Every structure is written in structure tokens, then in C-alpha cells.
Amino acid sequence: MKPVCIILLISLYVFAGKSALTAVYEAMGIDPMPGILHRTPALRQENYSRVRRRNDSTLSGWFSTTSLRSIHPQSYFEAARFLEPLLDSARAQTQLSTPPLYKESPLGGKGVVLGVVDVGFDYTHPAFRDTTGQLRILAAWDQQSTEGPTPSPWEYGSEYRGEREIRAAKHDSQRESSHGTHVAAIMGGSLVKGAESYQGVAPEGGFVFVTTDFSEVGIVDAVEYIFAEAERLNLPAVVNLSLGSSFGPHDGTSFVDRMHKKYNGPGRIIVSAAGNSGHHRRFVQGRVKEDTPFKTVTPLPWRSKYVDFWIEEGANIEVTPSLYTMDGVRKHTLKPFTPGIPYADTLVSGDDTLQIFGGYEKENPFNQKMNYLFLLRNNESSLYTRYYFGVTITGAAGSIMGWNAYYSSFLSLGKEGYQRGDTVHTLIDGGGTSPGALTVGAWVSKDSFINTAGKKQEVNHPERLFDKAHFTSIGPTIDGRNKPEITAPGHGVVSAYNSFNTTHTDSSQVVARIPYESRTYSYGVKSGTSMATPFVSGAAALLLEIDATLSRETILEILYESARRDEYTGPARNASYDSWGAGKIDVAKAIMEAAARKDGSRDEPLLLLDEILWYNNQLFTTSKEIHSVEVYTVKGRRIMKKEVSPRRLLSLAHISPQILFLRFHTTRGTVETRIRVR
């Protein structure tokens, strides 16, 4: 057996108040580091970059360790996490066609800003052109680029405005990704010849793309940028965030969650993914007492992961990390955490190296909890096949909650006294847990698709068709809020690919290739709550087209009233509410509900049958049960009779304003109701 040696690296910094993640960054030598500085006077300009003053006492940006050593003793520095796109865990293959009602509806998100914070945007894709070939992209900000002018007042990255600039840029700096293109086209992709089935939900909205650097600071700046653009244009806006982090307090008090709550308001909607952790036991909880320590273990990562513990009402807490063999034998007990000292250990075994960094915070100022945070960095060594990482927490008292920020679980190894993880509370922090965002889960919509080679690709998913996707994360939040609030199709969704991405080597997942302006564009399959989220973002844009003043709370009410519930979701507000939220989104019924609220005519049924929409003096339907309709005045005179087929029924736009009665002849009999022509 190869010899093993433990090298302990300890370094001491005298900072003012700081988060546990700040200590981890210190131990890793990250300089400058992204974060938020609270309760501070002005700093010298040379000690920080990309910094914005958010209010009289708060700065955000990238700070040097030199500047942080000299800040006011009552200041607090909150290092910013790096979030990630959310499609990693599922590669199921299904085809999702846009419901027919969207194609016939008078709504398309016109006059609404569609904000997408992501990476991998293809600015030239026909999904982002209107019917004349003009770009629907109002502005694009690439936070990772240094090639173009910077936007004011953010002063970093590259901003592109206008048809000429955006066309010349072609794509963002992250061309090896298609994530942003795929998400944006679901939210609002245009109707493209040869790819008609993959039209987005709001195909008439105006896009604002932000290629994020994935830091919390960058993501908050991106949301501000999109809402500032909407304010400039005097338009409502929806921001789609298909990204997040699996570590953090999960109680709405992280920096991104606090900012979402701040920016939420009438005509300003943020929609976030729930996360893809529902199939792993990534959450663990328990209590520590004087005679009963808290113990748990988790597999080492192939590359790196965070392991995060938050403790309430803790007294005399001590945390000791250890390494365990695969059969549960403690092999190495590492040095216990020392409060105030950033933690760094290195395990060397032959040619393999494992680095362990740690940070501690006695009391977080936003939730008053104690926080211990570990970063395990394995760098693809074989140690992950031989060891588990474990912690033992001792003390006089304390309620413990932990998260495993990687696609693996907390384990008990069948040992007495060790805590096994659970799938509850696995929502992503920094979006999915936000009080200011609508959070979206995913369900399985179809079980196969035909690729461009004409081959049928079957779905490989453990759940039933139409059931919740196994990967979608589960609530509630730690502070007891029900999330996700709604679900949408997210398993094997077909949408646009980035044509500049040369890493797409699996042609089996491409379902359409479209020649356009001497270039070939593709549509293909991706999975995750990333793909479910833009369905709801697009639907929110349609609702804002009806009423630009709608708030998150009102849209949530509309989605709840209109959501579809079935044998998989169960009835409203049952035990599965933290898996399904209100249920499956039903955009048609949501439109009806919003139109009824806008018109102030809830006593005049707009939901005439299950699938009929009365909007803008026109009747629309997807029902196959209706075969004719008669129109009568209030005096009983019939003024119209029409045989109908599915989709559009008839237009009454040529009739003067008045009350009319409608008589529908259906396969179930005759149904009568009244409408108001406006």
C-alpha cells in the first residue's frame, strides 16, 4: 500500500466580520475575491474593481485582500458564491411540441422584455428573429468579455446594442455552451420554418441577454441591468434564471435571494429553477447534545464540491472532519476546526492529492446561524474511489442542517449514530429558495422523439410518463415556505442549439437542422429544471402583456387558480405540494384568469368550457367537443350561427359593444353563457 502523509496548512488573517465562504476563499488564496461589503466607508479605488455602491453603506464587486484587511472594524464582508447552470443531471430524450393554443392565441409577449441570465447565446439564431428577419434582441451584455464597450454604471464586460452591433458580435464569449440559446428559445423563440413545433411561449417579446460570470455579484448586476433596460423602454419585464447553488442557508437570506425580494414588484418578475437534486439525499439534519454528537459522511468528489453546515442555538460547538474507508472505517482524523482561522489540509497518497479548505462564521448577520463550510478539491484523483469525507459535530446543544453541494448524498454507512441524508429541502439557494422569485419544478412530458437520422430515441427515466421528473428538487425552504410554486415540462425538451458551439458531437439528440442565411441552425434535446423554468417565464410574459402591472404575488395566484392537477400531482395543497407546487402549468387557463381579472368581469365566465378563451373580442379553443356555436342578443335575436373546428372559433370584433349570449353545441350537450363585446 502506498504511504499516506498529512500536510496541514494553516494561515491566519485578521479581517473584520466575514462569512464562512470568505474564509474558504482566503485559505485558497483567491485574490481579489467577489463579494458584498456591508457597513463600510469609502475604500481606495486601487483596492477593488467592478465595484458598485448599492446604498449608503453597501458595496459589491471584486475586493483585494489588502482592502479587506483595512476595513472598518464594524464592517462585514460576504463573499459571493459562483452559481451554475442547471441541466447537468438528466439526459432523457423527449420531444415537446408547443401546445396548439399558443399558435392561435392573440398573445405573444408583445411589449414585454424577456430577460435571460445564462451563457452560450447565439445572437444570429432565427429563433431570435421576427417575421421580417430583424433581430428581436434589444441588448446583450457579456460579463465575461473584454472586447466591447462596458455598460454604465456597471463598467465591466462588453455591451452590444442595435442590429448592427449584435449581428457583428454573432455570439457571446461562451460559445462552447448552448444552454442560454436553448433556454431563451423556450421562453420566446420565434416560429421558424422547418421547426414550427418548437416555437417558444412568448414569440413576440423583446430579448435582453446577459452572459453571466456566475458570481452572485454578477447575477444581481444582470437582473438590475435587465430591469433598467425595461425601465428605459417603459415596459414590463420577466427575468429567467436557470441557475443556482446547492450550498447556502436555504432560508431566503443569501445575497441573491435578498436582492430578488428587493427587485420584485409590479411588472418586474423573476422566475428561477428549483434545481436538479431531487434524486440525491443532499440534505441532512439532526441535533447535537452533550452526550450525543452529530455524525454523517459523504463520498469524495471526482473534482470538487462544497459541504455546508448551518447550526441554530449552538453552544460549545466543535467540528472535526475525517476520512473514512468505503466500508465505514475511520482512516484519518483531520485537525478540528479552529474558529477564526481559515482551514486548509492536504492529503497526499502516492500521486493522488486531496485538498480540504474550510471556513467558519460564528453568527451570520442575516439569519443569526452558525456556519461551517468545507470545500473538497480532488482534481480527478482516484481518492474518490477509496474514501468518504465525514464530520463529527459535538457540543452542548444545537440544531444542525447540512447540504451536499454536488450530485451525491449524505450516508450513514449502516453505522449507529450516523445521519443519512434526505431529498427534502434540496432546492437551489440563490433563486430556488428566493422569496422574490417564482420557483419552477419539472415533469416528464413525452417518452420519445425522432432525430434527424429518422431514428426513434426512447426515454430512459425511472419515473412514469407525466410524473414529476426524478431530478427536480423538492421543498420546502428551511423557513417553511412552499416551493416550487409550479411545474412545467423539463425532461428532454427540444429547443434551439448554439450554432457556434463545436462541442455538440452527439447528433442523435438533434431533431431538426434549418438552413438560414448561408448557415445551418439546429434544434435539439436538453433536460433539467433549466428547461422547465423558461416555460413559466414565457407564460409570465403573456400575462404581463394582458396587464403590465401584475406582481409576483398576483401571477402566483393566477398560476395557482389555473394549474392542472391530475393523478400524479394529487389534489391542491396535499402532501406533494413541495414537489409539484400548485400543479402543472396550464398557460391557456392562466391567460383566461388574467384576462378576467383585467376586465373586472369575473362574474362573466371567460372559461366557457374547459378549453375556450374569450379575449380581445375573439373566441379561441383547442377543444374537439364543440361542433357549432350560436350568438344571440339580449332580446333573444340570433345574429350568427357557425359550424366550428378545433382552435379558432370566431371573431366578434366587427360587432358593436354589447352583451351577447352564446350557445355551444357540443358532444356533451348544449352549454349557454354570456360575454361582453368591448
pLDDT at 106: 64
> Cβ-count burial of 62 within 10 angstroms (0-12 exposed, 13-18 middle, 19+ buried)?
buried
Which of 455, 49, 436 minimizes the C-alpha distance to 268? Answer: 436
* 446 vs 492: CA distance, rounded Å: 8
CATH number of 4-8+279-405: 2.60.120.1290
Digit-coded pLDDT (tens) for 222-259: 999 999 999 999 999 999 999 888 889 999 999 999 99
If one compares 388 and 463, the residue with the highest pLDDT of the two is 388
Q: Which CATH architecture has domain 100-277+431-550+569-579?
A: 3-Layer(aba) Sandwich (3.40)
Digit-coded pLDDT (tens) for 290-301: 888 999 999 998
Would you mind telling me the total number of residues written for the chain in this entry? 678
pLDDT at 11: 31
Rg (CA), the chain: 27
Residue 319 has pLDDT above 70, yes or no: yes
| Strand stretches in 385-509, DSSP E | 387-394, 397-405, 438-443, 448-450, 456-458, 486-489, 493-496
Residue 163 has pLDDT above 80, yes or no: yes
Listed by start position, the domains of the chain span 4-8+279-405, 10-80, 100-277+431-550+569-579, 601-677
pLDDT at 666: 80
Contacts of 615 (CB under 8 A, 6+ apart): 105, 106, 107, 591, 592, 595, 606
Residue 148 has pLDDT above 70, yes or no: yes
Provide the pLDDT confidence category of residue 576 given band limits of 50, 70 and 90. Answer: low
Question: Which helix (H) or strand (E) segment is 437 a member of?
Answer: none
Q: What's the farthest any 2 CA atoms get from each other in the chain? A: 97
pTM over 0.85: no
Digit-coded pLDDT (tens) for 551-572: 999 999 899 888 888 888 887 5
Which of 572, 578, 398 minimizes the C-alpha distance to 480? Answer: 578
In words, the CATH class of domain 601-677 is mainly beta
- Give the three-state DSSP class for 245: strand
Average pLDDT, the chain: 82
Tell me how crowded residue 14 is: count the other CB atoms within 10 A of its CB. Answer: 6
pLDDT at 628: 84
Tell me which residues are annotated as active site.
118, 179, 530
91-105, 397-411, 460-474: which has the minimum mean pLDDT?
Answer: 91-105
Contacts of 5 (CB under 8 A, 6+ apart): 348
Q: Taking residues 166-174, what's their average pLDDT?
A: 95
